[in-house]
Every structure is written in C-alpha cells, then in structure tokens.
Amino acid sequence: MPSFSTEREIGFALHDVARMLRTFADQRARDLNMTRAQWAVLVKLQRCEGVKQSELAESLDLAPITLARLIDKLTASGLVERRDDANDRRANRLFLTDKAGPTLEKLGALGENLMGRALGGLAPQTLSSLRQALERIRHNLKTELQAGV
C-alpha cells in the first residue's frame, strides 16, 4: 500500500468528507421536497436578495442555464420571484417570496441538525481550530487561483 504525505492524506480526507456531506445533505433535503442545489440557491438569496440572476450563477459556480432551471422550479413552487432590473432590461433580479420564510426556517433547522451530526463528538476548541484551518486553506486556494497558478 503506498504511503502518502500528511498533506496528501488531508486532501483525500477533505474530498471524502465533502462528498459524504453533499450526499447526506441531498438525502436530508429530500425530506423537505428540496434538492441540495435548490437549498443553496435559497440560502444565497437569503444572504443577498435582489441579486442579478447572472451574478448568482457566478457566485454559486453554476452554469447560467442550470441556475435558470433551478429558479424556474423555485418560482413554480412560489418561493422565488424574478423582477425586472430597473437599470438593465435584459437582466432579472431575484427575490424571496413570503412563502420562502417558513421553508428557510425548516432548511436552517435541517442544516443545524445535519452539521451537528457530522461534527458530533468534536470539542468546541477543535471546531474553532478546524474552522480557522479551513479558512486558511480557502484563503490559500483563492490566492493561488487569482494568481493564475
């Protein structure tokens, strides 16, 4: 069996944990007749309501057509509405409807439960250290990506 550096082992572990977390979130989102992708759109809109559809696609790292389909479904469910952009006739801005509030509350509780289960048994200090380490990794990668390396 090959031996890998600690850094490579951490890379494998991050990949596995992220994949398993996505799978777990997919399963749990289905309990609310939602997909993980729809959940992500709603939460992002909660944070930056009124965003242009094109900006939201970029921030979620989704193809514009993929986001358009997600928005279509969320609009049909009565959770999101498109509004014309006053400054750009070609653009839509996205807003949550009143119906989205209870859904977001359920999704928030689901997210807390999901992460509580995923992080179960870890001490508060360990969680704090883990958060700081992940922020450092994110910063390092963002710097490398911006540098074009």
Residue 132 phi, psi (nearest 5): -65, -40
Enter the pTM of the model: 0.82
Q: How many CA atoms lie within 13 A of 51 on its CB side?
A: 21
DSSP string spanning 30-61?
HTTT--HHHHHHHHHHHHSTT-BHHHHHHHTT
pLDDT one-digit tens code per residue, 26-75: 999 998 899 999 999 999 999 999 999 989 999 999 999 999 999 999 99
Helices then strands, counting H and E runs in the chain, come out as 6, 2
pLDDT one-digit tens code per residue, 65-119: 999 999 999 999 999 999 988 888 888 899 999 999 999 999 999 999 999 999 9
Between CA 9 and CA 78 the distance in angstroms is 44
CATH 1.10.10.10 for the 6-118 domain, yes or no: yes
Q: Where are the domains of the chain?
A: 6-118, 122-149
